[in-house]
Amino acid sequence: MKHPHSATEHPVAHPVARCTAFAAVVAIGALSMSAPAAASPVATTTEGVAAPTTTTETETADALSVVLADVPTALDAKTEKALADATSALVQAQQFTASSDMGAKRASRIEEAATEVRELVIAATAVSADGTLAASAAAALADRTERASRSNERSALPTGAETGNAGAAADAEVSATHLTEATESLSGLLAAPAGAAVSEVVPGPTKAEIAAQKAKARAKAEAKAEAKAAAAAAKAAKTRAAAEAKASAQAAARAKADRQRVAGLSAQAKQYGNGQIPSNLLCDLSFAPGEELRCDAALAVEDLNAAFRAAFGRNLTINDSYRSYADQVAVAATMGALAAPPGTSNHGLGQALDLGGGISTFGSAEYQWMSANAGKFGWIHPAWAEPGGSKPEAWHWEYGTGA
């Protein structure tokens, strides 16, 4: 029989060893890295010659185990273990390449490593009974030795000339050592994560892409800052509005309380005679120290003064306000008929004012303003004090008299 890897016949001393070695060669060679499905390495024909056939992955491993079990017992335990590990790695390689999506470089490295393992399995099993190597096994070892010596990856393998007629145990030991190394190399490639030992070079982003990423990140940061600022402004505005609403409510509450207090004091003041109102029932004027009126009249003139100040930039000038009965007597003694009889003047009721600062002159801007606006605050210029009245007095103004 011709050896499948040699053009010449190579007789061996023992027929069982020859058949078993050939079966191992065929079995390992059947592990093709490009096969899409798992292929069983051997199937026994009627003539006892191993031939490849399609099986499941489990059947592939079982078939390899059967082949190894038939290897001549001349192989020692170390070589048998190395062969078992190698076949297991080859099965895994086939399964891995059939089911995994990997780069071309990694697939090439795995196929190369699996080829080396197959060559060494052939070398380890193709040993004749008298300890010499079959021609194909010797050629495989020589080729592996030359490549290993050039790359300096492993110690040199023995050539066919060096093995010569050495004992089978020596050849098996050397083959087992290198087979173990090759198996470990293959297993390492299978176990390595994608892109680790054999990686496809992925080009990094271009300058334009980096600039676009930075611009996008900057825009995102600016948008975030703007949103944060807008939220802060909205919160501040809400807080300010709440504070203003609270202040307004408090002011309204105070105004209501003041009106209630003024109404109470005014009601009490009305119970007293002209010029007889107690001082504690009268209210002072904030812009005219020493002057006082009935509290409702005082509150109204405070509002009138605010409007006058807005128009002329100054306060009303108060020349006279509440007059007690004694004060009315003194004025009557001084002014005679120009003064109202004591006990009859609206000054004695706390409802009259004598004003200056331009208002005391008919036709002045201040007088005209008072004529147009005083009524809005409850103050009037009585008819008798008008230019055509019984006693023309431009300065005299009254609150709540209606005439």
Q: Dig out the tokens for 369 from the structure.
A: 């303003």
Q: What is the pLDDT of residues 383-392, one digit of tens each?
A: 999 999 999 9
DSSP output for 162-192:
HHTT--HHHHHHHHHHHHHHHHHHHHHHHHS
Q: What is the pLDDT of residues 234-260, one digit of tens each?
A: 999 999 999 999 999 999 999 899 889
Q: Would you say residue 74 has pLDDT above 80?
A: no
Report the C-alpha gap between 185 and 40 in whole angstroms. Answer: 23
Report the C-alpha gap between 140 and 129 in whole angstroms. Answer: 19
Q: How many angstroms separate the Cα of 49 from the Cα of each of 16, 42, 136, 398?
A: 12, 9, 18, 139
Structure-model confidence comparison of residues 115 and 42, the more confident one: 115
Query: Whole-prediction pTM value?
Result: 0.44
Instruction: Count CA atoms within 13 Å of residue 191 on its CB side.
Output: 7
CB 276 within 8 A of CB 325: yes
Q: Would you say residue 24 has pLDDT above 70?
A: no
For the chain, what percent of residues have pLDDT higher than 70? 65
Q: What is the pLDDT of residues 255-311, one digit of tens each?
A: 899 889 999 999 999 999 999 999 999 999 999 999 999 999 999 999 999 999 999
Q: What is the pLDDT of residues 333-366, one digit of tens each?
A: 998 888 889 999 999 999 999 999 999 999 999 9
Q: What is the pLDDT of residues 170-187, one digit of tens each?
A: 344 446 788 888 888 888
Report the C-alpha gap between 43 and 47 in whole angstroms. Answer: 11
pLDDT at 200: 53
Q: Dig out the tokens for 176 from the structure.
A: 């087992």
Give the DSSP H/E element, type plus range, for residue 380: strand 379-380
